Amino acid sequence: MREKQEIILRYFRLGHTQRKISRDLRLNRKTVKRYIVSYREKIEKIGGETGDALVEALTSKPTYNSSSRTSFKLTPKLKDEVSRLLEINVERRLNGQRKQQYKKIDIWEHLKRIGYQIGYSTICKLVIELEDDSREAFIRQRYAPGEVCEFDWGEVKIDTGHGIEKYQMAAFTSGYSNYRYACLFKSQDTSSYQQSHVNFFRKIGGVFRVLVYDNMKTAVKKFVGPNEKEATDGLLKMATYYNFSYRFCNVRKGNEKGHVERSVEFIRRKAFAIKDRFSSLEEANIYLENICDKLNSQPQKSLDSKSYTDLFNKEKSHLYSTKPPFDCSDSHSLKVDKYSTVSFKTCRYSVPDNLVGKMVVARIYPGKILISDNDNRVCEHKRLTGNSEWSLKLEHYTKTLRRKPGALKGSEALSQATKELQEIYQEYFYNSPRDFINLVEYISENNISSKNLKKQIESIAPKDDAVGLLDKIKISFDKTQECKDAKTSSAIISEIEEICSEQLSEYAQLFSAEPEIMEVI
């Protein structure tokens, strides 16, 4: 570049000859002549020497025509080897092994291993030429307000108090306003899929007319023919309840819902690249929702400094009206085993021990499990997210422990009881397990918390005096309940007396009126 500038300035400004320039700069006279002739042609084309012509001539880099060059190392034998590897790729695509194909870098490394010395860029050009890999064109879409919303899952790795674990992020993006929303779940099951929609519709206060999905298992039950898909029961129930339509993308065509494809990566990076440690999943979801609100409220240059929230407020009036939350549970019939538990996805949940051997119905929610026997709810558990975990409640085993009181001491159910209940057992009932079992049954039937129980025990008995403690506890709570009932009864009587007094006053005023007024009445 510097040599080109020096040649032009010396010849046209200083008046040096081509021979002198060639000798001083030690360049071939043909090279010097080529730059001078090129500069003259540009001036003649423009019609005279101008500042623009001079600037262009001095600043444009020298170019060389390499189109006629041939590759000496790209032999027919090498081309045949590359073609063979590309044919293997075709066979693997047909066999469903799309992720096990040779990439360009793999082909280049294979050629180097068998003795070919050739550049990587040359192989890339050859593969493109042999595959005739033409790029796909995309058609920009225009969406009406409230018409289309796209949904997708994304994986997030965060710590919620148990180390780094995988969580599934459900993401929604409006086609018109690009309004984003996301929430986290432990798995991509049907109940989580439905709950994500319930959360989203409650957040925006409406329902979009069309939801767009890819071929996820929670939405697509099976393929019918080459292109048609059958929706899952979970999607059909939810679509019927909220009255929205749905459509699916073509296979491996994530660009057909490009809004949410980009949103998953964008939200994940903006939220969890900054913070990835939380005390619980609930805290992580609150944090994620706040991040989405901030992203939606940021002014966008492409929208004349408007935000996605501003656009969404315009399309909100076009949404369908929302309904009470959909019951996003999945029902399963489960058998109670010998441990008086039911098993769901390797985790076990206790039920009352009088149901051993029977079939019960478990309604599975993202965060809880409700278990019923003949339409009567028998218990509720927080849903476990690990592998082979147990959730046992001590009150479910009172019938069995009465017959086997010695099993209480080392039982898993006692180890999972509250800290207060374990302390009560150790301090007062260690040598009288039957009384403790009766106590557990009593507080369960009367809905007494273990914290209130411990406070009551400490107020009526010292630690070294446990004689007749069970009866004292019952009497104490019965008196407390009687006082509550008396206060409630007194309040009701007072309210009745007050109403009656007001009515009597109205009647007294009525009869004490003058005769003329009474006649009119």
Distance separating alpha carbons of residues 394 and 444, to the nearest angstrom: 10
**CATH 3.20.20.140: does it fit domain 148-318?**
no
Q: How many CA atoms lie within 13 A of 53 on its CB side?
A: 14
- In single-letter form, the type of residue at position 12 comes to F
Which residue, chain included where needed, has tokens 């010292």?
462
Residues 6+ apart with CB under 8 A from 293: 309
Question: By C-alpha distance, which of 208, 210, 207, 234 is closest to 220?
Answer: 234
DSSP H helices, 226-359, are 233-242, 258-272, 281-297, 308-315
In the DSSP assignment, the letter for residue 207 is: B
The answer to whether the CB of 239 falls within 8 A of the CB of 209 is no
Predicted confidence at residue 512, as pLDDT, reads: 57
Question: By C-alpha distance, which of 102, 80, 82 is closest to 91?
Answer: 102
For β-strands 359-364 and 390-391, DSSP reports them as unpaired
- Cα distances from 347 to residues 60, 332, 415, 517, in angstroms, run 71, 14, 17, 79
Q: What is the mean pLDDT of each run of 10 residues along the chain (521 residues)?
A: 81 86 88 85 66 58 63 84 90 77 90 91 88 66 88 92 90 92 92 94 94 88 75 91 88 56 86 90 94 93 88 92 87 93 94 94 91 92 88 93 91 92 89 89 88 83 64 77 51 62 65 47 38
For residue 374, give both structure tokens: 């003949």
Degrees, nearest 5: CA angle 454-458-462: 135
Predicted confidence at residue 272, as pLDDT, reads: 92
Distance separating alpha carbons of residues 516 and 521, to the nearest angstrom: 9
Distance separating alpha carbons of residues 419 and 79, to the nearest angstrom: 74
Distance separating alpha carbons of residues 138 and 322, to the nearest angstrom: 34
Q: How many CA atoms lie within 13 A of 297 on its CB side?
A: 6
Predicted confidence at residue 449, as pLDDT, reads: 87
The answer to whether the CB of 348 falls within 8 A of the CB of 341 is yes
The answer to whether the CB of 151 falls within 8 A of the CB of 172 is yes
Instruction: Give DSSP secondary structure letters for 412-433.
Output: HHHHTS-HHHHHHHHHHSTT-H
The answer to whether the CB of 204 falls within 8 A of the CB of 315 is no
